[in-house]
Amino acid sequence: MSRTIKRGSPPKRPTARRKVAVKRASTLDRIVGALPVSEAALKRLATWSILGAVGAVVVVAASWIGIPGMIGTALAESAGKAGFRVEQIEVTGLKRMDRMSVYAVALDQQSRAMPLVDLEAVRQKLLRYGWIADAHVSRRLPDTLLVHVVERTPAAVWQDNGQLTLIDASGVLLAPVEAHAIPDLPLVIGPGADRQEGAYQALLAAAPALRPKVRAATWIGNRRWDLTFATGETLALPQDGADRALVKFAELDGARALLGKGWKRFDMRDPRKLVARKPGADENHALADPGDGAQTEQTPSVAAGAAATSREEG
């Protein structure tokens, strides 16, 4: 017996589904997505940064290998036209100096193309101002110059030939001062007194109890000090050992309250004694050290009257 076998289409097998790869966001993508700027803005910023860096490198390389400066300048100017041009100045550190003076120096450029700004030249110009002890100048791409200034601190007012000037502790001239606006600072008087500010501060430090009582100091003969107290008296100090003399005077004032007692002038140029004079008197008085148990005595022989005590003997 024969068997008939029907031929037909083979059974269809189920088609396997293709797996679609899921792209996972990288950490960088997540950070970028969290920024409050669009992706297009970030791309423009990246392009500007690259162009600026390339432009700066090209200018430096051109100078190094000897390509004419005109070509390097042209490349830098192209970078400026692409957006790398000084448009803003940010200044920090200023307390007393005029801010507009700093702006004027920073903008005083032959070209404002960022690669052509001479940062060291800007710094050196700023250091010409007495107020500025140091300065740091840098670029922040694409269009900002950063200027950080370290100011000097006023330490005294210097008076010379009727002119008043603020100075710092090393005697650097800072700025003129109007007579009606003198700050609460020590007053030093006379030619060369500005260069003695450091020594003067050291002198006052030797007798801190007297420091708040001193109103002014006059530099005499470019060699010694006369101190003027707030109570009106003047103290002539010696050329050598002025600090020791001032300490001695502080001790005497503490023992018998010399200041504010009607004396006009004290003279300690002779280290052996303190000589004093009252207003209108033709005679001086030698004031003994109270530690010696001596009394105040009138000694006309100490000096030949008021004219002799007021005259500087060099």
Q: Which of 53-57, 85-89, 184-188 has the lowest mean pLDDT?
A: 53-57
Residue 87's nearest CA partner among 36, 169, 46, 143 is 143
Q: What class does CATH assign to 88-151?
A: alpha beta
Query: Edge to edge, what strands does the sheet with 132-140 contain?
Result: 88-92, 144-151, 132-140
Q: Which of 141-145, 173-177, 255-259, 285-289 has the lowest mean pLDDT?
A: 285-289
Question: What is the pLDDT, as a whole number, of residue 173?
Answer: 95
Who wins on pLDDT, 260 or 289? 260
Average pLDDT, integer, range 252-265: 92
Whether the CB-CB separation of 220 and 312 falls below 8 Å is answered with yes
Residue 152's nearest CA partner among 169, 164, 136 is 169
Question: What is the pLDDT, as a whole number, of residue 303?
Answer: 36
Q: Which residue has the tokens 């940062």?
A: 119
Question: What is the pLDDT, as a whole number, of residue 227?
Answer: 97
Question: What is the pLDDT, as a whole number, of residue 124?
Answer: 94
pLDDT greater than 50 at residue 293 = no
Question: What is the pLDDT, as a whole number, of residue 77?
Answer: 46
pTM score above 0.75: no
Average pLDDT, integer, range 54-69: 48
Whether the CB-CB separation of 87 and 140 falls below 8 Å is answered with no
Cα–Cα distance, 296 to 163 (Å, whole number): 41
Cα torsion 304, 217, 223, 205: sign: positive
Whether the CB-CB separation of 152 and 174 falls below 8 Å is answered with yes
Question: What is the pLDDT, as a whole number, of residue 307?
Answer: 35
How does pLDDT run across 93-145, given as a tens digit for each residue?
A: 999 998 999 999 988 877 778 778 888 999 999 999 999 999 999 988 888 89
How does pLDDT run across 9-42, given as a tens digit for each residue?
A: 555 565 555 655 555 555 555 654 555 545 555 5
Helix (H) or strand (E) holding 258, with range, is: none
Q: What class does CATH assign to 154-310?
A: alpha beta
Cα torsion 26, 27, 28, 34: sign: positive
Who wins on pLDDT, 288 or 111? 111
Average pLDDT, integer, range 59-87: 50
Cα–Cα distance, 273 to 294 (Å, whole number): 12
The secondary structure of 22-79 as a DSSP string is PPPPPHHHHHHHHSSS-HHHHHHHHHHHHHHHHHHHHHHHHHHHT--HHHHHHHHHHH
pLDDT greater than 50 at residue 67 = no
The Cα-based distances of 168 to 102, 154, 172, 208, 223 in angstroms read 20, 4, 5, 20, 21
Cα–Cα distance, 6 to 190 (Å, whole number): 132
